[in-house]
Structure formats: C-alpha cells, structure tokens
Amino acid sequence: MTQPRIADLEDNAPAERFERLTELPLGVLAILFLAAYAWPILDPQIPDGWKLTCQIVNYAVWAIFGIDFIVRLILAADRLRYAARHTPDLLMLALPVLRPLRVLRLVVLLHMLNRRATSTLRGKVALYVGSSALLVWFSASLAVLDAERAHVNANIHTFGDATWWAATTMTTVGYGDRYPTSAQGRAVGFALMLAGIAILGMVTASIASWLIDRVREIDTQSQAATRGDIHALQREIAQLRRQLADAAEPVTESSSQP
C-alpha cells in the first residue's frame, strides 16, 4: 500500500482533527454498544423491556457512528481517497445490517488502541496486540453464538462452546468439534480467520523486529569494543616507539663524540 502524500494529509487535516476530537467519545460509545450487544446474548431470559433498550442503544450507536463518518467524509478534500483509506469504518457501517456482524462497530476501539499504543515505543505494541486479540476473541464468540443459537443444525449452543470455537479458529488450530453451520455464522468465522492471521502476523513481526534490534545492538557494542581495543593498541605502540626513540638518542650522541 502506498503511503499518503503530504498534500493529501494537509488537505484532509480538518477530517483528521475531527477524528481525533471524537475518538474518545466514540470509544466510550463502542464499549456501551458491547455491553448492550452482549447482554441479550449471554442472558436470553432478560425482560423484554431491557431487550428493547439494548436494541435502541445498538441502533443509536450505529447512527452516531454513521454521522461521525459522514462528517469526516464531508471535511475531507478528496472524499473518494479518504473513503478508500478508511474502508474498515465504511464496512463497520455497511455490514452490520446483519445482526451477528453488528459487532464490527467495535473496530473503532481497535482503531483507538492502535492510535494510542503504536505512537509510543515497541513495548506498547504488546498491549495493543493483546487487547486486540481479547476483544476480537470475545466479540467473535458473541457473534457466532448469536448466529448459531437458533439454527436447526447448530452445534454451538452455549457461550462456552462459542469461546472454544473462537479460540481454536483464531489460533488457526481448528479442531472441528465446534463449527458454524449458518451463513451468518460462517461469515463470522471467515472474518475471525482473517483477524487471527493478522494478529499472529503482528506478533511474529514484532518478535522478529525485536530480535533484529537486539542483534544489531550486540553487533554495535562488539564493534565499539573492537574499535576501543584497536585504539588502545595504537596508543601503546605509539608509546613504545617514543620510548625506543628516546632510548636510542643517547647511544647515537655518545657514538658521535671522538
């Protein structure tokens, strides 16, 4: 993927500033959405009034996210380029028409973690990767349970089944004892496979980068020590030469006298 040009960043500055201002409130709304989304799934016996409240919260959060994206799109100079660079945000609004895929609205939390964590040293990357993995795992468990619970041929009936399936799928183990049978459940599984591969790739890349830096650091220290030894030997050789020259001068003067 090509890096955005400086001119593009300057043109989209108002949209980027608006995004930074709304980032924290949208993150809070995403957490509120997660609670409203998870409660009816984890406890199907809750009163109808609370179910309706959770649905209202879900649609309200969806509407706020939609307004936020539209405002950022209006503020952007090149709207097509901005939409292409923010494809996850667009999918977050388009795909969750299907109930199990509404959990994609939590992409805003991953985006906020990415902005907060990767702006510092590599040690924070572990926090971002770990938080992302837990969020994706929990969200996929909810989504697949929501999709499979009422399906005729389903073999995922409890939250424990869903978490086990999500863990084996996300880690690409895939025992096959639990698997989605509905179209929406398989869509969740496909998304989880991609997310699992991406997270594992980030972990591998982070470890590889750390090892390369360690080897480079050791090599730099070794070269510095070698240069120090060479400089010390050069100084000792120069000192020995001066001593030999000083010792040879009296002999030369005495031999030149009659």
Instruction: Give the pLDDT confidence score for residue 251 in this predicted structure.
Output: 54
How would you class 112 by CB atoms within 10 Å of its CB: exposed for 0-12, middle for 13-18, buried for 19 or more? middle
Residue of 194 and 214 predicted with greater confidence: 194
Name which of 9-18, 79-88, 184-193 the model is least confident about: 9-18
**C-alpha distances out from residue 158 to 3, 142, 145, Å:** 44, 10, 7
- Percentage above 90 pLDDT, the chain: 7
Tell me the per-residue pLDDT of 101-133, one tens digit each, with 9 for 90 and over. Answer: 455 555 555 555 555 554 444 556 666 677 778
* Mean pLDDT of all residues belonging to the chain: 75
> Is residue 243's pLDDT more than 70?
yes
Whether 210 and 169 have beta carbons less than 8 Å apart is answered as no
* Three-class HEC string of the chain: CCCCCHHHHHHCHHHHHHHHHHHHHHHHHHHHHHHHHHHHHHCCCCCHHHHHHHHHHHHHHHHHHHHHHHHHHHHCCCHHHHHHHCHHHHHHHHHHHCHHHHHHHHHHHHHHHHHHHCCCCCHHHHHHHHHHHHHHHHHHHHHHHHHHCCCCCCCCCCHHHHHHHHHHHHCCCCCCCCCCCCHHHHHHHHHHHHHHHHHHHHHHHHHHHHHHHHHHHHHHHHHHHHHHHHHHHHHHHHHHHHHHHHHHHHHHHHHHCC
Q: What is the pTM of this model?
A: 0.62
Name which of 89-103, 197-211, 213-227 the model is least confident about: 89-103
Whether 58 and 102 have beta carbons less than 8 Å apart is answered as yes
- Region 198-226: mean pLDDT is 72
Q: Which residues contact 5 (CB under 8 A, 6 or more apart)?
A: none
Residue 86's nearest CA partner among 68, 99, 64, 102 is: 68
- Region 152-181: mean pLDDT is 88
Instruction: Give the pLDDT confidence score for residue 109 in this predicted structure.
Output: 58
Instruction: Give the pLDDT confidence score for residue 97 in this predicted structure.
Output: 46
Predicted confidence band of residue 162 (pLDDT cuts 50, 70, 90): very high
Predicted confidence band of residue 8 (pLDDT cuts 50, 70, 90): very low
